[in-house]
Amino acid sequence: MKKIGIGIVGLGNIGSRLYKEIISKKKDIGLKTSTNITIAAISARNINKKRSFKVRRNIFFKNPLDITKNPKVNIVIELIGLSDGISKKIVERALKNKKHVITANKALISKHGDYLASIAEKNKVNLEFEAAVGGGIPVLRTIKDGLATNKINKIVGILNGTSNYILSEMQKTKNSFKNVLNKAQQLGFAETKPKFDLDGTDVLAKIRILSSLSFNNKISKNNCLMNGIENIELKDIDMAEKLDLRIKLLGITEIINNKLFERVHPCLIKKDNYIANIDGVMNAVILEANPVGESVLQGEGAGPGPTSSALMSDLLSILRGNIKYPFGIPFSKRKKVSSYDQNQYSNSLYLRFEVKDKPGVLSQITKQLANYNISIDRLIQIPDHKRKRASIVIITHKAKEINSSKCLKSLKSNKNVLKSPTLIRLL
Amino acid sequence: MKKIGIGIVGLGNIGSRLYKEIISKKKDIGLKTSTNITIAAISARNINKKRSFKVRRNIFFKNPLDITKNPKVNIVIELIGLSDGISKKIVERALKNKKHVITANKALISKHGDYLASIAEKNKVNLEFEAAVGGGIPVLRTIKDGLATNKINKIVGILNGTSNYILSEMQKTKNSFKNVLNKAQQLGFAETKPKFDLDGTDVLAKIRILSSLSFNNKISKNNCLMNGIENIELKDIDMAEKLDLRIKLLGITEIINNKLFERVHPCLIKKDNYIANIDGVMNAVILEANPVGESVLQGEGAGPGPTSSALMSDLLSILRGNIKYPFGIPFSKRKKVSSYDQNQYSNSLYLRFEVKDKPGVLSQITKQLANYNISIDRLIQIPDHKRKRASIVIITHKAKEINSSKCLKSLKSNKNVLKSPTLIRLL
């Protein structure tokens, strides 16, 4: 039985759960990997914080960087979660000191993953980050191992539990975005500062990690089509329902003509479609690959349980002595990939305009759509007589991004259009 | 680059597709595993059979056992598919000669997996069988690696593409079992001798492999509750539809009070339930585990593409030098597990009786149900005046297996009951 020391940096919800998982599964891990593991070092902001277990002072380090050079530590688990700063330093130093690293940090990996992978490879240690994407869904491992040698063509995912909870809860309870967000925060499904979960940033980080694993490219730094769910109102949810559709925030990545097209935006999806029925905090990933065909993975996307499941799978992979390239193939073989011109992306669109209820407004809008070559498939006008306003919902035929963005920009300056129009793409 | 020789035994649809996959992915495999692979030996029943590639005579072996001792071969891939005989001999000898073995053979693994695993462990080589369960779904790898250290409590799966295709096609086309089976055979979704796919044998083999991986027990040889779909008629499909239900053949395994309960039978499932919507030849597996929660994997369950995807994932696992216990933990640590008394299993039941349309029949049936403590939730009688017959469909409250089986047995001797009643359990 080989002795292995583990260092955990960060003892919040995730770190604490992981700590207990490691202790309680020690015997099982021994059976599966022929190793004898101990938690050799921990670091947390506050040693005295109330926890459900006692932090042994003899293994506590105030400065987490001390853990990265501790000879008793073979594996460092980084759970602070910053995209730079101390998180980056810990991972960097640990790898340079030939410690394996496990992290749940998608912000760090999507920003510095290439650099950190190159250090890991140079030092022949593992850099594992299963928990960074899809919570408990072992999607990275599935791409690297379970679907190894498949040519992946496209990935579509629901990758953010917070926004998925909000959208499905709005639909179920007919409560406003704001009320549902409050409820989500009370339940622990949304952070107090939920911006990155709602505006697509979190999903984009995950999509970039998925792309680089699936298409063997360096992590893209390109500008990306990214919209969040902050502008979705109950009106949109209701209208979707009437049209037998559901609104979901999707992350999508694919290769089109050898170019990478990554995007994150809400989508209207037919309600009998599989992905339209992934509700609450669940995540799901659909992979199109050859020769396997379509593969679907679904599971809980966040929280201490699922996240520690993913961290433990990383731990076992290392303990089994399975040295691997962090992104499947050597750093030097991963190519830069140019990005698909998102202006050329074309889609049917759902557009909602809030307008003054007076003659000629509808004709101004439809004329402008025609000017930009956007043709209308369906139009629904809902009056609000009291406030002398109306909502105009338009479903268009396929329209190019460049046309729709120019068109909406031009309509912003129209005084009869009361607020920035809402745009949702149809899947 | 380490040189690795592969021997393929069996060049049918699967073997041929795999052969081409290996050739075309050679470079990619080199990048991912730092190995230089060649197909060093092949064996097939008929060297002259028309194939889409040329079989090189210098690597062809008439006797597949010669491959198992060929020094140029490091990995043997067995694709004959018998539960015993030559398949077993090939795997056994290859392992004893310290060759890694990959097989898609669920019949062999579910019958002799324990024995073969012990030989593999003794000789420090891998025995991999991802393709034996779930086709292209990497479910075994997910249990062993992606969900490693999770405590799995229950698995529910649609694990046979043939029967799932037949049930969903009957529902869609309103065609009889016989007609749909014929169509499935024409399309290559059913074998000419489909017995094991239809009667549950195939699913049971897969469930037994899943159990032993999930619960760390030796492969169970116990009697098991197993019903197939051969007795399901269009009448049942139609009735399910009226009740907003769907019929699916499920394999289920779980631990109840430390006892293993494996079962395979058709189930009636609410039509908005996820698993009720897995149609055609798709497979799906739902795992309940701690701490990850519920995990769902879905993908194509059969055919050369998905199967070779699974075989390739086995191949890469070996090429990465990842020596593992075939069932996750050492052979000696895997315990025998006693089986749950299936007589105690209780379920709501769907019962269909074909009866003579004459007074008193219904009362005979309901009286007998009452005798066996089976209470009725719903009853629908559909007359067939022309033939002076009727179908009686009964949905019961929860009833114990022992009671329902005794009751149905007793009703068989009733001359007014024209054929063996159809029983489908409700999920």
- Decide the pairing of beta strands B282-290 and B376-384: unpaired
CB contact at 8 A, A102 and A314: yes
Q: Which of B328, B418, B406 has its CA nearest to residue B374? A: B406
B412 — pLDDT class (breaks 50, 70, 90): confident
pTM for the model stands at 0.94
What's the gap in Å between the CA of A97 and the closest CA on chain B? Answer: 24
φ, ψ of residue B260 in degrees (nearest 5): -90, 130
CATH label of the domain that carries residue A78: 3.40.50.720
Residues of chain A positioned with their CB less than 8 A from the CB of B280: none
- Is B313 part of the contact surface with chain A (CB cutoff 8 Å)? yes
- Is the alpha carbon torsion for A309, A315, A317, A320 positive or negative? negative
- Is A179 part of the contact surface with chain B (CB cutoff 8 Å)? no
Q: Given A100, A128, A156, which residue is the final one in a domain?
A: A128
**Surface of A (259-298) touching B: CB under 8 A:** 274, 277, 284, 289-298
**Surface of B (30-69) touching A: CB under 8 A:** 31-32
Quick check: A21 and B149 CB within 8 A? yes
The answer to the question of residue A329 being in a domain is no
Quick check: A21 and B291 CB within 8 A? yes
- Decide the pairing of beta strands B75-78 and B2-9: parallel
pLDDT recorded at residue B382: 92
Q: How far is CA B355 from CA A27, A306, B176, B233, B390, in A?
A: 59, 52, 20, 16, 5
CATH label of the domain that carries residue A213: 3.30.360.10
User: Cα-atom radius of gyration of chain A, to the nearest Å?
Assistant: 24
Q: Find out whether the peptide bond into B291 is cis, omega within 30 degrees of 0.
A: yes
Strand order in the sheet with A100-103: A35-43, A2-9, A75-78, A100-103, A127-128
- Substitution target in A129, A295, A315 with the highest count of B β-carbons within 10 Å is A295
Quick check: A138 and B136 CB within 8 A? no
What's the gap in Å between the CA of B416 and the closest CA on chain A? Answer: 44
B370 and B236 belong to one structural domain: no
In whole angstroms, give the CA distance from residue B194 to residue B228.
Answer: 11
Q: Which two tokens stand for residue A8?
A: 């955990």
A387 and A274 belong to one structural domain: no
B223 — pLDDT class (breaks 50, 70, 90): confident
Position of tokens 């795997």?
Answer: B91
Closest in A25, A293, A305 to B293, CB measured:
A305
Q: Given A98, A128, A158, which residue is the final one in a domain?
A: A128
The chain B residue lying nearest A333, using CA atoms, is B31
The answer to the question of residue B144 being in a domain is no
CB contact at 8 A, B44 and B19: no
A171 and A105 belong to one structural domain: no
Residues of chain A positioned with their CB less than 8 A from the CB of B328: 32
**Surface of A (331-350) touching B: CB under 8 A:** 333
- Substitution target in A13, A20, A150 with the highest count of B β-carbons within 10 Å is A150
Percentage of chain B beyond pLDDT 70 is 100
CATH label of the domain that carries residue A378: 3.30.70.260
In whole angstroms, give the CA distance from residue A219 to residue B162.
Answer: 41
Amino acid at B180: V
Question: How many structural domains is chain A composed of?
Answer: 3
pLDDT recorded at residue A33: 93
Residues of chain B positioned with their CB less than 8 A from the CB of A296: 296-299
B219 and B254 belong to one structural domain: yes
What's the gap in Å between the CA of A204 and the closest CA on chain B? Answer: 23
Residues of chain A positioned with their CB less than 8 A from the CB of B141: 141-142, 145-146
- B82-98 average pLDDT score: 97
The answer to the question of residue B325 being in a domain is no
Per residue in B380-396, pLDDT (tens digit) is 999 999 999 999 999 99
B159 — pLDDT class (breaks 50, 70, 90): very high
A154 and A292 belong to one structural domain: yes
B255 and B205 belong to one structural domain: yes
Percent helix, percent strand, percent coil in chain A, to nearest 5: 40, 25, 35
pLDDT recorded at residue B246: 97
Does position B119 have pLDDT exceeding 80, yes or no? yes
CB contact at 8 A, B229 and B250: no
- Is A318 part of the contact surface with chain B (CB cutoff 8 Å)? no
The answer to the question of residue B85 being in a domain is yes
Residues of chain B positioned with their CB less than 8 A from the CB of A148: 32, 312-313, 316-317
B409 and B352 belong to one structural domain: yes
Q: Is A206 a catalytic residue?
A: yes
B120 and B16 belong to one structural domain: yes
Per residue in B297-327, pLDDT (tens digit) is 999 988 899 999 999 999 999 999 877 899 9
A275 and A213 belong to one structural domain: yes
DSSP secondary structure string, A23-83? HHTHHHHHHHHSEEEEEEEEE-S-TTS--SS---GGGB-SSHHHHTT-TT-SEEEE-S--S
CB contact at 8 A, B131 and B109: no
pLDDT recorded at residue B354: 95
Closest in A138, A290, A312 to B149, CB measured:
A312
Percentage of chain B beyond pLDDT 90 is 93
Quick check: A298 and B298 CB within 8 A? yes
Quick check: B312 and A149 CB within 8 A? yes
CB contact at 8 A, B214 and B139: no
CB contact at 8 A, A28 and A37: no
pLDDT recorded at residue B322: 74
pLDDT recorded at residue B269: 97
The answer to the question of residue B320 being in a domain is no
Which residues of chain A, if any, have pLDDT below 50? none
A374 and A274 belong to one structural domain: no
Residues of chain A positioned with their CB less than 8 A from the CB of B276: none
In whole angstroms, give the CA distance from residue B421 to residue A149.
Answer: 49
In whole angstroms, give the CA distance from residue A110 to residue A221.
Answer: 9
User: Cα-atom radius of gyration of chain B, to the nearest Å?
Assistant: 24
Amino acid at B104: A
CB contact at 8 A, A285 and A252: no
B156 and B276 belong to one structural domain: yes
What's the gap in Å between the CA of A147 and the closest CA on chain B? Answer: 6
**A·B CB contacts under 8 A:** 158
Closest in B29, B289, B316 to A145, CB measured:
B316
| Total number of residues shown for chain A | 427
The answer to the question of residue A323 being in a domain is no
Quick check: A298 and B296 CB within 8 A? yes
**Surface of B (79-118) touching A: CB under 8 A:** none
The answer to the question of residue B350 being in a domain is yes
Residues of chain B positioned with their CB less than 8 A from the CB of A30: none
DSSP secondary structure string, B111-175? HHHHHHHHHHHHTT--EE-GGGSSTT--HHHIIIIITTT-EEEEEEEE--HHHHHHHHHHHHH--
Position of tokens 């979660």?
Answer: A81
What's the gap in Å between the CA of B290 and the closest CA on chain A? Answer: 7
Q: Which two tokens stand for residue A159?
A: 């990758």
For residue A19, what are the domain limits?
A: 2-128
Closest in A136, A277, A292 to B136, CB measured:
A292
In whole angstroms, give the CA distance from residue A66 to residue A298.
Answer: 38
Residues of chain A positioned with their CB less than 8 A from the CB of B316: 145, 148-149
Residues of chain B positioned with their CB less than 8 A from the CB of A293: 136, 299-300, 305-306
Per residue in B122-153, pLDDT (tens digit) is 999 999 999 999 999 999 999 999 999 999 99
Q: Which of A271, A260, A275 has its CA nearest to residue A210? A: A260
- Decide the pairing of beta strands A349-356 and A422-426: antiparallel
The answer to the question of residue B307 being in a domain is no
pLDDT recorded at residue A50: 87
Q: Which two tokens stand for residue A415?
A: 């005084």
Which of A206, A221, A242, A398 is the catalytic position? A206
CB contact at 8 A, B250 and B264: yes
Closest in B136, B138, B325 to A293, CB measured:
B136
List CB contacts of A124: < 8 A, sequence separation 6 or more.
A98, A323
A296 and A165 belong to one structural domain: yes
pLDDT recorded at residue B413: 87
pLDDT recorded at residue A151: 96
Upper half-sphere CA count for residue A389 (Cβ side, 13 Å): 11
Residues of chain B positioned with their CB less than 8 A from the CB of A284: 296
CB contact at 8 A, B397 and B376: yes
Which of B2, B206, B242, B386 is the catalytic position? B206
Does position B50 have pLDDT exceeding 90, yes or no? no
Q: Given B97, B128, B159, which residue is the final one in a domain?
A: B128
Closest in B28, B147, B322 to A138, CB measured:
B147
In whole angstroms, give the CA distance from residue B421 to residue B372.
Answer: 16
